[in-house]
Amino acid sequence: MTSVIVHEVNLFITRVGAKPSHIYYSVAYLNRISSMVAPKDEKVRVMVLRIYFSLFKKLLNSDLAEKKEEAPPAKKDRTKSKKENERASKGKPVSNELEQEDNKVAELVLKGVNILMAKCSDQLFDSGASGESSSAEMRRLIEEETMSLFRLAHHDVFRISIQALKLLF
Question: Residues 56, 109: contact at Cβ < 8 Å?
Answer: yes
Q: For residues 92, 60, 31 and 37, what is the CA-based torsion angle, rounded to 10 degrees?
A: 140
What pTM was computed for the model? 0.71
Burial 152-166 (b: 16+ CB within 10 A, else e): bbebebeebeebbee
How many whole angstroms separate alpha carbon 54 and alpha carbon 14? 9
**Rounded mean pLDDT of the chain?**
79
Residue 114 pLDDT > 80, yes or no?
A: yes
Using one digit for the tens of pLDDT, what is the confidence trace for 98-109? 467 788 898 999
Question: Residues 52, 59: contact at Cβ < 8 Å?
Answer: no
Residue 73's pLDDT is what? 53
